[in-house]
Amino acid sequence: MEISKGKAVFLLLCLIFAVSSCGGLLGPLGFEIGPSESPDEPGSDRLLVVTSIYPLTCLVDEIGTYRVDTQTLLPPGENAHMHELTPEQMTQVTDADLLLRIGGGLDDWVLRSFAMARDRARRISVTDTARSRKPAARPGSPDSIAFDSSTIDWSNPHLWLDPLIVRDVVVPLITENLIAADPEGKEHYQAHSARFRSQLTGLHEELKRLMSGLPSEKFLSDHPAWTHFAQRYGLTQVDVLQTCTASEPDPATLSRIIDDALEKDVSVVLTTRGHSDQLARRVAESINAALVEMDPIGDPGEPDRRGYFGLLRYNATRLRRALSAEQD
């Protein structure tokens, strides 16, 4: 029996309708097209978390995954101590469910904008809150604390550059606040927090091996970003050229720093991406040391500095090469 072309098309459409009503719409190649959301994919009602700097964004993304939408205020390569928000960023702040900043004087430029956020938004200063917390137990060892918090200089806000402080203080703090802002996601946040903390243990062991056996462990830095990292991995930060980015040491202090560096045979001076290196360059020339640019903030647009693990590995590798007198 011959079927006309028109009837064939009609029957095909009926078949497609029948199948779609039983399971889902069919795509051009016959595959079912269903909702894009699944237990492991982002939905439309995610928690908006706004952070001052990229490392905080990395931590939130690891814990929140598809339940959060993160926005970073400081653009890559800019000085973390000074930034003027754009109108678009102000809108992000006012719409946020959770606002995270490092605190400790590093990102005070966000304070006025955070005050403009809606009343129900949670506002967390990580450094200011962390100093009053007891470190969480080491993953897998509920009765074991990894370090004595009294040995940490909590006035230095660069906490994220020590993986164990991140693992046992910062990650639990962020997890608690994500749960408070999104109680329905409690199990999700706890599970991903536990996974992340275990991975941070692995990262710490990796960095410990990387920074061991160096011919020299001494360096100068233009900025106190590496104090926590140096303390964790047995390095010696002989001095810091500028404790505040807006000021330089007076001539007497600078002379003392140079004399001390010469006496201790310092061969490396670290600079910070986004900061002027003029002072560090002068000091490096005075003591015949290598000048090495570090990036404590990271950059999502650069594969080797993307994400928390990439950021730490990138800087640790650069520091190891410099202290080993290796060439990049």
Give the distance between the most distant pair of CA atoms in the chain. Answer: 105
CATH number at residue 291: 3.40.50.1980
**SS3 of 279-296:** HHHHHHHHHCCEEEEECC
**Same domain (yes/no): 25, 111:** no
Assigned domain for 42 exists: no
**Same domain (yes/no): 198, 258:** no
**Same domain (yes/no): 218, 201:** no
- For 274-306, write each residue's pLDDT tens digit: 888 999 999 999 999 999 999 999 999 999 999
Look up the domain containing 2 and give its range.
1-34
- For 227-238, write each residue's pLDDT tens digit: 999 999 999 999
Domain count of the fold of the chain: 3
What is the pLDDT, as a whole number, of residue 7? 53
**Same domain (yes/no): 121, 52:** yes
What is the pLDDT, as a whole number, of residue 47? 95
- For 128-184, write each residue's pLDDT tens digit: 898 877 787 767 665 455 667 778 888 899 999 999 999 999 999 999 999 999 999
Assigned domain for 293 exists: yes
User: Residue 309: how many CB atoms within 10 A of its CB?
Assistant: 16
The identity of residue 151, as a single letter, is T
**Same domain (yes/no): 97, 204:** yes
Assigned domain for 328 exists: no
What is the pLDDT, as a whole number, of residue 311? 97
Q: Domain end: 184, 209, 234, which one?
A: 209
| Residue 54, pLDDT above cutoff 60 | yes
What is the pLDDT, as a whole number, of residue 20? 39
Q: Is the dihedral of CA 73, 79, 84, 88 positive or negative?
A: negative
User: Residue 90: how many CB atoms within 10 A of its CB?
Assistant: 14
**Residue 102, token pair as written in the block:** 């490092």
What is the pLDDT, as a whole number, of residue 105? 87
Torsion angle (degrees, nearest 10) of CA 69, 79, 167, 126: -80
**Same domain (yes/no): 83, 205:** yes
180-195 mean pLDDT:
97
Sort 23 into a burial class: Cβ within 10 Å, 0-12 / 13-18 / 19+.
Answer: exposed
Q: Domain end: 209, 228, 258, which one?
A: 209
What is the pLDDT, as a whole number, of residue 145? 53
- For 58-99, write each residue's pLDDT tens digit: 999 999 999 999 999 988 877 777 777 788 888 888 899 999
**Same domain (yes/no): 174, 123:** yes
**Same domain (yes/no): 155, 112:** yes
Beta strands in the chain (DSSP E): 25-26, 32-33, 47-51, 68-72, 98-101, 122-125, 218-221, 236-240, 268-272, 290-294
**Same domain (yes/no): 181, 55:** yes
How far apart are the C-alpha atoms of 4 and 7, rounded to whole Å? 5
Q: Domain end: 152, 175, 209, which one?
A: 209
What is the pLDDT, as a whole number, of residue 117? 78
Assigned domain for 41 exists: no
**Same domain (yes/no): 142, 228:** no
Q: CB-hemisphere CA count at 13 Å for 169?
A: 26
How far apart are the C-alpha atoms of 305 and 315, rounded to whole Å? 9
How far apart are the C-alpha atoms of 256 and 81, rounded to whole Å? 26
pTM of the entire predicted model: 0.82
How far apart are the C-alpha atoms of 257 and 248, rounded to whole Å? 12
